[in-house]
Amino acid sequence: MTLRVACVGAGYFSQFHIESWRRIPQVELVGVCDQVREKAEATGAPAFTKLARMLDAVRPDVVDVILPPVRHAEAIGAAIAHGGLKAIICQKPFCENLAEAEAMVAHAEKVGVPLIVHENFRFQPWYRKVKEVLDRGDLGDLYQVTFRLRPGDGQGADAYLARQPYFQKMKRFLIHETGMHWIDTFRYLLGPPHAVYADLRRVNPVIAGEDAGLVVFDHAGGVRAVFDGNRSVDHAADNPRRTMGEAVFEGSAGVLTLRGDGSLGLRKRGAQSETVILPPDKHEGFGGDCTHALQLHVVSGLMSGQPLENLAADYLQVIRIEEAVYRSAETGQKVKV
């Protein structure tokens, strides 16, 4: 069986989606749509400027929405209305707000089309390995997880303009655009939090929203996860966007450290050195090839009937946690989720 895939959006991040689809033998990329025809044509796929026209012309099985949040609902609605789909994939942040996301989930469920959020950080190879370590109990009783976001791409008046210029205008930025990755990743590794505390701020004055902050998540069993983000500061890595920072997982039996090269080192309690349990990442694209890992997961699930991660109905929980983060930042109080 071959899945016919059509992409909506040919902006910066679409390159990773399109390149990945072309590497999957069971997939045929049948079209790319963008308001700017030259961008769609540059992908080498059949190019369109109108989504409805593309859907009528290529009759896809899967529609991959690679657009900013303001255009998600329109694209999802058009894809559902066209019919005949086996699945819709939508980039994160998913929709403009919780109400819109809930409406899209209800719409897709009504017609029986799986709606999947393209939240790919949980598919990064280092987090899949961390999950194995935690599930085996190698760290003993887990106490705390800390991730320090330090991509170093947020300084100056031209921050993000060359890659994703709409970043500058997002009224909610650090958490809504970037921190969502770790809300979902912490949820994947630790289960959902039951409370959050957040202190957010703006460092670069040209950015409309917050670009730095500290968020503490309370998880079951007394485990805490700390997201410490500052997009104006970098970290030691040949590619700061590979991991976008560094992480430490601390438990009663040892400490697991994620470094900017994608490697993982485990130091047993009382030891003076660590064992490398995942070598440095060699993938030259984005995030340890996590886009490809997610898309392979979707293709495999659609063909085998196995459960899919990141179904939009489940991802609503991530958006609700995000709302709790912003409420905490506004009130200065810990907020229950």
Q: What is the mean pLDDT of residues 185-195?
A: 98
Instruction: Locate the domains of the chain by residue range.
Output: 3-118, 122-285+318-336
254 in Cβ contact with 268 (< 8 Å): yes
Neighbours of 28 (CB within 10 A): 17
Where does the pLDDT of residue 158 fall: very low under 50, low under 70, confident under 90, or very high at 90 and above?
Answer: very high
316 in Cβ contact with 102 (< 8 Å): yes
Give 19-44 pLDDT, tens digit per residue. 999 999 999 999 999 999 999 999 99
3-state helix, strand, coil in the chain (%, to 5): 40, 25, 35
52 in Cβ contact with 29 (< 8 Å): no
Query: Is 90 exceeded by the pLDDT of residue 163?
Result: no
CATH of 122-285+318-336, one of 3.30.360.10, 3.40.50.300, 3.30.413.10, 3.40.50.2300: 3.30.360.10
- Measured at the CA of 42, the angle between CA 40 and CA 48, to 5 degrees, comes to 20
pTM for the model stands at 0.95
Q: What is the mean pLDDT of residues 202-223?
A: 97
Q: What is the mean pLDDT of residues 48-71?
A: 96
Q: What is the mean pLDDT of residues 117-127?
A: 98
Please compute, for residue 230, the number of CA atoms within 13 A of its CA located in the half-sphere on the CB side.
Answer: 6
Q: What is the mean pLDDT of residues 95-124?
A: 97
User: Given this model, what pLDDT does residue 169 score?
Assistant: 94
Q: What is the mean pLDDT of residues 153-159?
A: 96
Where does the pLDDT of residue 127 fall: very low under 50, low under 70, confident under 90, or very high at 90 and above?
Answer: very high
Query: Is 90 exceeded by the pLDDT of residue 196?
Result: yes
CATH of 3-118, one of 3.10.20.340, 3.40.50.720, 1.20.140.10, 3.40.50.300: 3.40.50.720
| Residue whose C-alpha is closest to residue 154's, from 240, 242, 230 | 230
Instruction: Give me the percent of the chain exceeding a pLDDT of 90.
Output: 97
Query: Is 90 exceeded by the pLDDT of residue 277?
Result: yes
Mean pLDDT score across all residues of the chain: 97
- Whole-angstrom Cα distance, residue 309 to residue 314? 9
Q: Do domains 3-118 and 122-285+318-336 have the same CATH topology?
A: no
Give 278-287 pLDDT, tens digit per residue. 999 999 999 9
Query: Is 90 exceeded by the pLDDT of residue 325?
Result: yes
Can you say whether residue 196 is alpha, beta or left, with left for phi > 0 and alpha for psi between -120 and 50 degrees?
A: beta
- Whole-angstrom Cα distance, residue 75 to residue 171? 22
